């Protein structure tokens, strides 16, 4: 796999957006839109408004303002990575049916990147005083608030975070959220759970050395490169080389201006900096992909040393939080063929037809359906169930096998199959001691099991991670004013509290939508603490301190 003929993937974000527009998959929004309270709720209606996946589009916002009335020259695009599977496939230059095959070829035939010295992503360079002047640094970027009414600040979401192993130089690229704290400071969350972030493993090594960790956050690049971030590749595999395999050409990289890391040369925006290893800072709340608001944890603090951009850069954000979403589509279209290949090729499961990961609300990780040929031996069904449940620590809490006449995307058909085709005394198995995985930390125990039955609310939980009702109502009014496709809202379509919430977090959220996120950052800077693990809940520390 060494030439462009293997795929027709776009080489950068600008190329990708032009292709989407030519295919009717991009909607330009020229109306003035407030990034702090209107932008994400408006895009969210594509997922909460009963619109079929095939009708979703990328939204390019060309007239972006904020809560203070500031106008941004830089446009914002949402949905350009995976508003639907067709958009994701366009980012790889293939059809939806070919997504699994191109991933398999890329992982089997990676292409090493090619270093250059002159790069579009460094046409504009911001360092020193430019990072801290009023309106400068991170404040100059049109970073949206993802879950107005609950998020404590604007967040970088469509990230490709580049780090390097200090011992052997191995590069890792992951997709991690980053909260705006100050014009030159971010709060970065890297998952520490089993099967979590490769960047966190690097952080532990820098911490042991007593050194800060160099980091670069890429915002906007060829979709094939960004797609490697959320894909769970082996920790020692260079995602940049796999991205080259996806594109069919070496990815051009350039050395950062202030840190010893290489980033895609054709990127839109690169934020360079250093992450402290001797202290952490409260980060959050933020609406998470498990469908609840992630409450405050102690997480990493990043000092920004440079921001570099193209002359006419486009800021990229993604719709995450409650699924279906752009975030879940990014994973679903790649994970399903990955799991199917695991069952079919690695375990040689007989009769397996499809792997379907349930998306609405559960975020694809928790519930997996396996569809089998009629009459397949029961031994093959159970081998398939066990293999699917064990491939990734965060996937497969519930795995259900059905026959070929049951449509796995139809929950009613799944319930019907369970009700009339499963003997609860002999056809149900619970395997204990599973990792709790990705989810809210309220009222949780350390371990879980493979299979759950009762999903009712048993304890106070964080809020539902959708914008509050008033923001969604306002966005719906704008939607209808723009004469966009008719909405048929399906509940839940707005966020609401479920008992685990505080007045302080409400204050954070209120200041965020008022454009005063820097005040929140100033408040949390007073809570910087050393000697603890990232993702330590802030309130756990406060209880111990009493």
Residues 230 and 119 in one domain: yes
Distance CA 257, CA 138 (A): 17
Band of pLDDT at residue 459, cut at 50, 70 and 90: very low
Buried b (16+ CB within 10 A) or exposed e, 309-326: bbeebbbbbbbbbbbbbb
Please give the average per-residue pLDDT across 187-210, as a whole number.
Answer: 87
Distance CA 1, CA 24 (A): 31
Q: Does the structure show a pLDDT above 70 at 196?
A: no
What local confidence, expressed as pLDDT, does residue 444 receive? 63
Residues 310 and 333 in one domain: no
Buried b (16+ CB within 10 A) or exposed e, 74-112: bbbbbbbbbbbbbbbbbbbbbeeeebbebbebbbeebbe
How far, in Å, are 141, 153, 397 from residue 70 at the CA level?
11, 16, 46
How far, in Å, are 36, 212, 267, 272, 436 from residue 218 at the CA level?
22, 19, 7, 9, 30
Q: Which of 272, 295, 322 is the last residue of a domain?
A: 322
Cis, peptide link before residue 27, omega less than 30° from 0: no
Reported as type and span, the H/E element at residue 302 is: strand 297-309
Q: Is residue 542 part of a domain?
A: no
Domain of residue 424: give its range.
328-450
Residues 304 and 342 in one domain: no
Residues 270 and 333 in one domain: no
Q: Is residue 518 part of a domain?
A: no
Residues 99 and 239 in one domain: yes
Q: Which of 389, 417, 450 is the last residue of a domain?
A: 450
Q: Is residue 496 part of a domain?
A: no
Residues 242 and 334 in one domain: no
For residues 260 and 246, the answer to whether their CB atoms sit within 8 Å is no
Please tell me the total count of domains within the chain.
2
Q: Is residue 490 part of a domain?
A: no
Residues 234 and 186 in one domain: yes
What local confidence, expressed as pLDDT, does residue 435 receive? 72
Q: Which is nearest to 504 in space by CA: 144, 67, 37, 152?
A: 152
- Write the pLDDT tens digit of every residue in 90-139: 999 999 989 988 988 898 899 999 999 999 999 999 999 999 999 999 99
Distance CA 13, CA 5 (A): 20
Residues 226 and 303 in one domain: yes
State the DSSP code for 133. S
What local confidence, expressed as pLDDT, does residue 518 receive? 96
- Write the pLDDT tens digit of every residue in 46-95: 998 888 889 999 999 999 999 999 999 999 999 999 999 999 999 999 99
Please give the average per-residue pLDDT across 195-199, as a whole number.
Answer: 74
Residues 305 and 338 in one domain: no
Question: Token digits for 467?
Answer: 């914008």
Q: Is residue 480 part of a domain?
A: no
Q: Does the structure show a pLDDT above 60 at 239?
A: yes
Name the one residue in this structure whose structure tokens are 């203070």: 68
In percent, the amount of the chain with pLDDT more than 90 equals: 61
Band of pLDDT at residue 33, cut at 50, 70 and 90: very high
Looking at per-residue pLDDT, the higher value among 178 and 192 belongs to 178
Query: Across the chain, what does the average pLDDT equal?
Result: 89
> Could you tell me the CATH number of the domain that includes residue 339?
3.40.1670.10
Please give the average per-residue pLDDT across 522-540, as a whole number.
Answer: 89
What local confidence, expressed as pLDDT, does residue 2 receive? 38
Looking at per-residue pLDDT, the higher value among 92 and 434 belongs to 92
What local confidence, expressed as pLDDT, does residue 160 receive? 95
Residues 312 and 412 in one domain: no
In percent, the amount of the chain with pLDDT more than 70 equals: 92
What local confidence, expressed as pLDDT, does residue 453 receive? 36
Q: Does the structure show a pLDDT above 70 at 416?
A: yes
Residues 248 and 295 in one domain: yes
Q: Does the structure show a pLDDT above 90 at 407?
A: no
- Write the pLDDT tens digit of every residue in 342-371: 999 899 999 899 999 888 888 878 899 998
Question: Token digits for 13?
Answer: 């974000």
Q: Does the structure show a pLDDT above 70 at 189?
A: yes
Buried b (16+ CB within 10 A) or exposed e, 120-155: bbbeeebeeeebeeeeebbbbbbbbbbbbbbbbbbb
Band of pLDDT at residue 492, cut at 50, 70 and 90: low
Q: Is residue 413 part of a domain?
A: yes
> Could you tell me the CATH number of the domain that includes residue 40?
2.30.110.10
Q: Does the structure show a pLDDT above 80 at 236?
A: no
- Write the pLDDT tens digit of every residue in 269-316: 999 999 999 999 999 999 987 778 999 999 999 999 999 999 999 999
Q: Which of 293, 322, 351 is the last residue of a domain?
A: 322
Q: Is residue 85 part of a domain?
A: yes
Distance CA 240, CA 265 (A): 12
Strands 124-126 and 213-219: unpaired
Q: Is residue 488 part of a domain?
A: no
Q: Which is nearest to 175 in space by CA: 226, 236, 240?
A: 226
Least confident piece of the model among 105-109, 131-135, 209-213, 390-394: 390-394
Prediction pTM value: 0.81
What local confidence, expressed as pLDDT, does residue 238 receive? 86
Q: Calculate the CA 275 to chain-centre distance.
A: 20
Name the one residue in this structure whose structure tokens are 């008033």: 470
What local confidence, expressed as pLDDT, does residue 461 receive? 62
Residues 291 and 245 in one domain: yes
């Amino acid at each position: 796999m060494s030439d462009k003929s293997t795929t027709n993937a776009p080489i950068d974000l600008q190329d990708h957006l032009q292709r989407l527009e030519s295919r009717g998959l991009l909607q330009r929004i020229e109306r003035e839109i407030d990034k702090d309270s209107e932008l994400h709720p408006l895009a969210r209606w594509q997922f909460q408004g009963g619109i079929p996946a095939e009708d979703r589009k990328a939204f390019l916002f060309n007239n972006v303002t904020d809560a203070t009335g500031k106008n941004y020259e830089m446009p914002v695009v949402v949905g350009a990575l995976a508003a639907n599977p067709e958009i994701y496939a366009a980012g790889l230059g293939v059809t939806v049916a070919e997504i699994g095959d191109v991933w398999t070829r890329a992982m089997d035939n990676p292409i090493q990147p090619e270093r250059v010295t002159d790069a579009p992503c460094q046409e504009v360079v911001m360092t020193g005083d430019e990072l801290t002047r009023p309106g400068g640094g991170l404040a100059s970027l049109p970073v949206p608030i993802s879950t107005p009414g609950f998020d404590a600040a604007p967040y970088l979401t469509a990230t490709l975070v580049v780090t390097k192993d200090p011992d052997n130089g191995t590069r890792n690229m992951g997709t991690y959220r980053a909260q705006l704290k100050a014009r030159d400071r971010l709060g970065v969350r890297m998952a520490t759970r089993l099967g979590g972030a490769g960047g966190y493993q690097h952080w532990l090594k820098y911490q042991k050395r007593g050194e800060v960790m160099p980091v670069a956050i890429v915002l906007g690049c060829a979709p094939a490169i960004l797609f490697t971030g959320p894909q769970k590749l082996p920790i020692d595999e260079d995602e940049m080389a796999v991205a080259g395999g996806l594109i069919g050409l070496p990815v051009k990289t350039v050395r950062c201006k202030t840190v010893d890391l290489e980033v895609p040369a054709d990127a839109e925006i690169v934020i360079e900096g250093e992450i402290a290893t001797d202290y952490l800072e409260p980060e959050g709340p933020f609406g998470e992909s498990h469908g609840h608001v992630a409450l405050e944890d102690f997480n990493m603090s990043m000092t920004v040393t440079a921001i570099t951009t193209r002359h006419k850069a486009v800021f990229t954000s993604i719709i995450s939080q409650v699924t279906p979403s752009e975030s879940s589509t990014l994973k679903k279209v790649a994970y399903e063929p990955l799991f199917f290949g695991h069952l079919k090729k690695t375990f040689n499961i007989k009769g397996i037809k499809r792997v379907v990961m349930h998306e609405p609300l559960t975020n694809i990780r928790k519930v997996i359906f396996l569809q089998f040929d009629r009459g397949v031996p029961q031994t093959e069904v159970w081998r398939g169930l066990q293999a699917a449940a064990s491939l990734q620590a965060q996937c497969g809490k519930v795995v259900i096998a059905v026959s070929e006449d049951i449509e796995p995307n139809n929950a009613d058909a799944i319930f019907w199959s369970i009700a009339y085709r499963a003997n609860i005394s002999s056809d149900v198995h619970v395997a204990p001691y599973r990792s709790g995985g990705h989810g809210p930390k309220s009222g949780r125990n350390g371990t879980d099991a493979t299979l759950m039955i009762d999903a009712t609310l048993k304890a106070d939980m964080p809020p539902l991670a959708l914008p509050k009702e008033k923001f969604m109502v306002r966005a719906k009014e704008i939607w209808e004013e723009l004469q966009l496709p008719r909405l048929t809202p399906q509940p839940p379509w707005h966020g609401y509290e479920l008992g685990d919430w505080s007045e302080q977090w409400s204050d954070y959220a209120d200041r965020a939508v008022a454009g005063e996120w820097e005040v929140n950052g100033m408040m949390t800077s007073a809570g910087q603490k050393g000697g603890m693990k990232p993702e330590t809940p802030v309130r756990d520390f406060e209880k111990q301190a009493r």
